[in-house]
Amino acid sequence: MNTVELDKIFDQAKSWVLEAGETIRTKINDPLTINTKSNPNDLVTEMDKETELFFAKKIKDTYPDHLILSEEGFGDDIDSLNGTVWIIDPIDGTMNFVHQKRNFAISIGIYQDGVGEIGLIYNVIEDVLYSAIRNKGAYKNEEKLPLLSESVKIEEAILGLNHFWLCENRLVREQTMQQLVRKVRGTRTYGSAALEFAYVAEGIMDGYLTMRLSPWDIAAGVVIVNEVGGTTTDINGDELNMIKNNSVFTCNPRVQHIIIDDYLRKGRK
Ligand code: 2AM
Ligand code: CA
Ligand code: CA
Ligand code: CA
């Protein structure tokens, strides 16, 4: 696909994301229909489904040969990223959407034969769109994001992670994670993987670490973080498989090796 076509798809995707966000904002105080999925804390609402359906219809009408990989079941059943694939999370941070009515995002990554070409993360309530086209830089609304700082040290880093890392888990020894939490300047937990990627891209967090995410949680974030010189792997430093679930570590490369080598690998169970 040439750059003119990609630019057109980007503009189209952006206008749909803004439209879907506007709909969500309009209905934000309406009563919610909430169901649970894999466990009582794994929530889904009618708004998650309606938003995904909105994108699926638009994409299938406009680009009948494009494929969709998405969370709520309106996408295609695909087992490869051949062709053009829209990887969609209609609401990332559903628990925040339900309980807080803020701190959630629409996340869309567009991949061409497995290569992330476009990323869009829309913080709906704040009306802030993080976006990127591969090799063209990343933006926060209309403002170009600078490359990540080259001077950040682990002692001055802010790391996004949730508290399950400090509980008994099957990946890394709790004691090692406690050492990591003490080593860095601070930690944050926002409850939306897409927003945490956006904050790493913005340089207001230096890394974000998670045990298990799906492709739609990270597809847009990977593209956007990449454009500011950030890097994303699994927690062992290995390449992600964008068609499966992965552990994920996205960060400023200046703290990547020390966190992986001295903590995540050293403490591995
Ligand atoms: P979601 O809101 O789209 O489900 C919450 O810490 C982050 O993890 C959110 O980005 C959330 O995405 C994601 N997540 C992935 N799998 C989840 C699960 N089984 N239950 C809750 N959140 C999950
Ligand atoms: Ca979910
Ligand atoms: Ca998600
Ligand atoms: Ca979701």
pLDDT tens digit sequence for 87-146:
999 999 999 999 999 999 999 999 999 999 999 999 999 999 999 999 999 999 999 999
Residue 186 neighbours by CB distance under 10 Å: 11
Residue 168 has pLDDT above 90, yes or no: yes
CATH of 3-144 given 3.30.540.10, 3.30.1330.10, 3.30.70.3270, 3.30.930.10:
3.30.540.10
How high is the pLDDT of residue 16?
98
ipTM exceeding cut-off 0.90 for this assembly:
yes
Q: Which residues does residue 131 pair with via DSSP β-bridges, in sequence order?
A: 120, 139
Q: Is the CB of 42 under 6 A from ligand 1?
A: yes
Q: What single DSSP character describes residue 268? A: B
**Distance in Å, CA 255 to ligand 2 centroid:** 29
Please answer whether residues 86 and 116 qualify as being in contact, where contact means their C-beta atoms are separated by less than 8 angstroms.
Answer: no
The helix-helix angle for 46-62 and 3-26 (nearest 10°) equals 150
* Mean pLDDT across 76-89: 97
Biggest CA–CA distance in the chain, Å, is 52
Could you give the CA distance from residue 170 to residue 156 in angstroms, rounded to a whole number?
28
Domain spans in the chain, listed from the N-terminal domain onward: 3-144, 154-265
Q: Is the CB of 162 under 6 A from ligand 1?
A: yes
**Distance in Å, CA 95 to ligand 2 centroid:** 8
Q: What single DSSP character describes residue 147? A: P
Pull the structure tokens for residue 176: 């090692």
Residue 3 has pLDDT above 90, yes or no: no
User: Which of 37, 94, 190, 244 has the most ligand 1 atoms within 8 A of CB, as the residue to mutate?
Assistant: 94
For ligand 1, atom 3, the nearest C-alpha belongs to: 92
Q: Is the CB of 72 under 6 A from ligand 1?
A: no
Mean pLDDT of the chain: 97
Please answer whether residues 106 and 100 qualify as being in contact, where contact means their C-beta atoms are separated by less than 8 angstroms.
Answer: no
* Mean pLDDT across 30-48: 96
pLDDT digits (tens, 9 = 90+) for 195-216: 999 999 999 999 999 999 999 9
Q: Which residues does residue 248 pair with via DSSP β-bridges, in sequence order?
A: 210
Domain at 154-265: CATH code:
3.40.190.80
pTM for this structure? 0.98
**Distance in Å, CA 110 to ligand 1 centroid:** 20
**Distance in Å, CA 38 to ligand 2 centroid:** 9
